[in-house]
Amino acid sequence: MHQYIAFYKPFGVLSSFTDPDGRDTVKAFVDVPGVYAAGRLDYDSEGLLLLTDDGDLIHQLLEPRYHLPKTYLVQVEGKPTPGAVATLEQGVVFQGKRTRRCEVLLVDEPEIAPRQPPVTPHGATSWLRIVLREGRKRQIRHMTAAVGLPTLRILRVAIGLITLDDLLPGEWRELSCEEVERLKCSSRL
């Protein structure tokens, strides 16, 4: 019987279970033998990380052709203009390649757990809801920087139809059978 876990990765924690440099890893929070992260979330990003011992599902989730949507709440410095939002949606070029089209929406400040350590902006901030269907390294940070909106905080709130629900940083839960089935179906589309 496979295990499927939704974990709220805190800021400043690696998505792996080991680190030769001694930084905090998922293992400090989830002591379940044999599970691995199905994807990654940067050290300085936080939010939903799926863990499983189902190698077939990990492969499906990481397969780029399925373009499984990942939803983020992103705090940026500054006030996005309609033009900046449109540019983000259409894709920006970084590292010589244009990002795929995505969904971007300016949203009110969400009711979420405060980050530790707290974000210390230099001016006004705004929140964006961004849905990506690709996962390039530090993509959101590069995208928002390209339109003059430095990223202050990234919180992944959903992978496909799986959400954080009421988890707090460092907490985890087992996925329900229904959630696992929806995840498997969505990664085969």
Catalytic positions: 42
Alpha carbon separation from 44 to 117, 134, 178 (Å, rounded): 11, 19, 31
**d(C-alpha 23, C-alpha 5), whole Å:** 22
Is-contact 152 124, C-beta < 8 A? no
Query: Tokens at residue 16, please?
Result: 């792996």
DSSP conformation class of 14: B
Length, in residues, of the chain:
189
Contacts of 11 (CB under 8 A, 6+ apart): 44, 45, 46, 115, 116, 117, 169
Is-contact 71 156, C-beta < 8 A? yes
Query: Tokens at residue 71, please?
Result: 């939803």
